[in-house]
Amino acid sequence: MSEPRIGVYVCHCGFNIAGTVDVKKVAEYAKTLPNVVVAKDYVFMCSEPGQDLIKKDIKEQNLNRVVVASCSPSLHEVTFRTAVMEAGLNKYLMEMANIREHCSWVHHDKEKATEKAKEIVRMAVAKARYLEPLEELEVEAEQSALVLGGGVAGLRAALELANYGFQVYLVEKSPTIGGKAALIGYVDPKTRGAEVVNKMFEMVKECPRIKIFTNSELIQFSGFAGNYTAKIRVNPRYVNEKCTRCGECEEVCPIDVSNEYNFGLNKRKAIFLPFSNAFPPYYAVDHRVCVKCGECEKVCRFGAINLKEEPKIVELKVGALIVATGYDPYRPFKGEYGYGLHGNIITLFQLERMLDPESPTKGELIIGGKIPKNIAFIQCVGSRNTTPGSREYCSRMCCTTAINNAIKIKEKYPDTNVYIIYKDIMTYGSDESLYEEAGKKLVQFVKFEDKIPKVLITPEGLFIEVFEYTIQENIRIPVDAIVLSIGMLPPRDLEELIAVTRVSCGTEGFVREAHLKLAPVEAPTKGLFLAGCITGPKNVLESIRMGSAAAAKAMSLLSKGKLKIEPMIAQVSEEKCSGCAICVGVCPYGAISIKKVNGDRIAYVEKALCMGCGTCNAACPSGAMQHLGFKDVQLLAQTRAVFGEVR
């Protein structure tokens, strides 16, 4: 590029800058700096006449760099980039000098502030001399998406995407889709979780653009936004679509294991149907426990079972990935509020399941063989630092769920006393009405503060000892059954998920969004979106909404058919690169690899994967790797200019 011809434009911002900084002096000073052809001040540079001033000079004075000394780039970088572009200049040839937020607004001494503003302008001019034109690139985007996790959030996302016209691959690791919402009893007093899920199943069945892989895992994920390649391992189900769900196989199976689909309320066989409305509607063999005795294969009259089935690997091309792999319920340790020491101490998930009409008790409240006369919920188990193994956060759903089920119990068994032993009641939003209703139904609320309640297992029965906060007294409640309102944990296989997809963990152990307010439901890697409880505790409704939101984000990314790639990314000088691969290890996005060029090892940047952090540039020992827009020469020139020298 030819010799720099720089125009400097100093903004008054009304009195915001001009009230503290002598803008005329700053402009006069700018004229003395090397390569500055013109320097002007104006009352509002961002206004149309202000922008026109810049555009006119670019054309008339043949400027090839522009420095705007005004507010923070976070406010008007886009404005001025567009302005210079409209005047025919590459938009990356504009640099901003922040003399408002960094100077006039934080300093009061006019002389000192003016001197500082001059120096800030000098630093910007020094950098501007080294600016280069950069070009945005475009890549084709696959019109398809992979949804990982078949719970309500994943199902919702898949439906939105498919309805829009995208091909969707839904990958679920268990033998049925539906997630935990399919198992819990009532999501609100009138709606069963299973009903919500069943309706979603109907929609999914009618949608030809959703391909479902159950018993499947994502084992490899590579590429970049718009062009990802996903490798799926489809584990054998050992049962095919000839299955009529007659159940004869189940009777001959010799294996008994705890039934996770009833949260351990009963046992199941190695060959089993997860729940009556499971989808796909066939039995499945749990390969982890099956001993391959072959009894089921012999008894099946339809030839639906084949224990010799092998895992399959499927490769898919997708434009985006939605991670919706959900949560795990908190696992109380043995002895936590008596858990595991007495059969009548169960978890909230078990109770919810029990009250579902399809549960082993057919929806009846039967604990320890009979209907309890006194039942107590203990809240915040595993949440809000209440118990030793617990987490800091509130799990959001447990208060409403406990109250919802307390109401159900009161409606069905009016003679049963229900206690809710709580720290604070968090029935936020419209759920507050449930809290009121529970009060009307005479559910008894017992509040504790710092001292956590004690569960006593005695020959006379179960007791809860609690220091009641409102009456400031120790009380002892005799109960027949205790429900521990357990919260939510990040899923157990989170580490594998992180290794494969490069999503990252937040402080609470769940996957974090790129920015809670400015980039919600997005993962830091472009083209990856998050939905449901993988980002933290949510109720069913919130998870479904997040599924929709993630799908909308994926659609807005892919629907144009082409993706723009931000040009302020890493670039390798092939001459300087020695192929040492230090950059490969520091890149958080796996965007750099080593390639052979004419027999030499050279770092290669996958442009669409690079997010432009520049950490490879800082790590490169030979200066071969440069962060465009923040190159070594640019930042060093800026650093030197602090001390007067522009070179």
Given the rule CB under 8 A, which residues bind other proteins?
A: 72-74, 98, 100-103, 105-109, 112-113, 115-116, 119-120, 123, 502, 504-507, 512, 514-515, 524, 568, 586, 588-589, 611-615, 617-619, 627, 630, 632, 635-636, 638-640, 642-643, 645
- Chain-centroid distance, C-alpha 221: 17
Q: How far is the CB of 98 from other proteins (least distance, A)?
A: 7
* Residue (114 or 235) nearer to other proteins, CB: 114
**Cβ-Cβ contacts under 8 Å for 498 (sequence gap 6 or more):** 504, 505, 511
Return d(Cα 142, Cα 448) in angstroms, integer: 55
Dig out the tokens for 377 from the structure. Answer: 């919920």
| Burial class of 397 by CB neighbour count within 10 A (0 to 12, 13 to 18, 19+) | buried
Q: How far is the CB of 150 from other proteins (least distance, A)?
A: 27
- Terminal C-alpha separation, the chain: 17
* Residue (247 or 506) nearer to other proteins, CB: 506
**Cβ-Cβ contacts under 8 Å for 243 (sequence gap 6 or more):** 281, 282, 283, 302, 304, 305
For helices 73-86 and 48-60, give the axis angle rounded to 10 degrees. Answer: 50
* Residue (276 or 504) nearer to other proteins, CB: 504
Kindly state the greatest CA–CA separation across the chain: 97
- 88-104 in b/e form (b: 16+ CB < 10 A) is ebbbbbbbbbbbbeebb
Q: How far is the CB of 108 from other proteins (least distance, A)?
A: 7
* Residue (17 or 378) nearer to other proteins, CB: 17
Dig out the tokens for 15 from the structure. Answer: 């009195």
* Residue (127 or 423) nearer to other proteins, CB: 127
Q: How far is the CB of 104 from other proteins (least distance, A)?
A: 8
* Residue (266 or 615) nearer to other proteins, CB: 615
**In sequence order, which ranges of 514-623 are alpha helices (DSSP H)?**
540-558, 582-586, 615-619
Q: How far is the CB of 431 from other proteins (least distance, A)?
A: 30
* Residue (360 or 509) nearer to other proteins, CB: 509
Q: How far is the CB of 183 from other proteins (least distance, A)?
A: 31
Q: How far is the CB of 620 from other proteins (least distance, A)?
A: 9
> Vertex 479, ends 473 and 483: CA angle to 5°?
100
> Vertex 186, ends 181 and 191: CA angle to 5°?
95
* Residue (350 or 617) nearer to other proteins, CB: 617
Q: What is the DSSP string of 505-526?
A: B-TTSSB--SBTTTBTTB-SST
Dihedral sign (CA 544, 551, 498, 384) = negative
* Residue (208 or 644) nearer to other proteins, CB: 644
Q: How far is the CB of 71 from other proteins (least distance, A)?
A: 9
Q: How far is the CB of 117 from other proteins (least distance, A)?
A: 10
* Residue (123 or 285) nearer to other proteins, CB: 123
Name the DSSP class of 93.
G
- How many other C-beta atoms are found inside a 10 Å radius of the C-beta of residue 599? 5
Q: How far is the CB of 392 from other proteins (least distance, A)?
A: 14
Q: How far is the CB of 187 from other proteins (least distance, A)?
A: 31
Closest to 10 measured CA to CA, from 48, 47, 40: 40
Closest to 125 measured CA to CA, from 99, 89, 86, 90: 99
Q: How far is the CB of 539 from other proteins (least distance, A)?
A: 24
* Cβ contact 64:1 at 8 Å: yes
* Residue (121 or 546) nearer to other proteins, CB: 121
Q: How far is the CB of 92 from other proteins (least distance, A)?
A: 14
Return d(Cα 172, Cα 175) in angstroms, integer: 7
Q: Say which amino acid occupies 293.
A: C
* Residue (388 or 644) nearer to other proteins, CB: 644
* Residue (289 or 580) nearer to other proteins, CB: 580
Return d(Cα 27, Cα 11) in angstroms, integer: 10
Tokens 């060959």 correspond to what residue? 271
**Cβ-Cβ contacts under 8 Å for 111 (sequence gap 6 or more):** none
> Vertex 519, ends 131 and 570: CA angle to 5°?
30
* Residue (257 or 619) nearer to other proteins, CB: 619
* Cβ contact 325:180 at 8 Å: no
Q: How far is the CB of 68 from other proteins (least distance, A)?
A: 14
